[in-house]
Amino acid sequence: MEILALQYGWLDFTNFDVEEYEHYERAENGDLNWIIPGKFLAFSGPHPKSKIENGYPLHAPEAYIPYFRNHNITTVIRLNKKMYDARRFTESGFEHHDLFFVDGSTPTDAIVRKFLNICENAEGAIAVHCKAGLGRTGTLIGCYMMKHYCLSAAEAIAWIRICRPGSIIGPQQNFVEEWVFTDFYFLYKKCVLILNRCQSSEQTIRGYYVGLQNSGNIQSWKLSTGINWKCWGNLTVFTLS
């Protein structure tokens, strides 16, 4: 997983700030972690007001706004029940979306599709939270990572847990392991089969797959990657040009 993180630019040993990571991971400083730097931030759900409750610090939306602005976060997605008024973010210039599903449960297909659509069209980075910012949050971010970076479920879960320990357990782990973005997944598997026979590396096929997703069009993907294909009925065979 480290190799993939380096490949995608999620990890850079030359400028990784351990002190910053440990600072913001603490509850008193926001309980937040970057999963994909510049794209996804996972954090604990805000409360109506900042206070200490039973020795545990809680933060109002306003406590996060300066950090969000400084890190180009433009969108907030809430997955848990409403604990604060969304206008406290929207009136400060952020987009805010509610995609509620029950704590410890798994999202419906409609929720996953909405989440992917929001994230694919967001102009800046996205801050995602549920109650603790672990289960529901990690589950949906994991689906995005599997679709857009061609990660296996194990790879996505492993990376999210490295960034934010305690994420995605129980039924939610099973959901991620069984989730498939069908259209691209089967096309990817066909590419792997043929390109592996052409002695292309796994890194190469990941690049082709991401290119397909980004283009949204098989023809433009063919032109940009040099992959040809022939179709016989339901069978598609890919070859390198």
Structural contact between residues 236 and 227, judged by C-beta atoms closer than 8 angstroms: no
- Compute φ and ψ for 64, nearest 5 degrees: -95, -20
From residue 20, alpha-carbon distances to 16, 34, 68 in Å are 9, 11, 15
Vertex 143: Cα angle to 69 and 220 (nearest 5): 90
Strands 95-98 and 56-58: unpaired
Q: What is the DSSP string of 124-184?
A: SEEEEESSSSSHHHHHHHHHHHHHHH---HHHHHHHHHHHSTT-S-THHHHHHHH---HHH
Active-site residue numbers? 130
Burial of residue 136 (number of CB atoms within 10 Å: 0-12, 13-18, 19+): buried
**By the 8 A CB rule, do 94 and 73 touch?**
yes
Q: How far is the first Cα of the chain from the last one, in angstroms, to the nearest whole number? A: 30
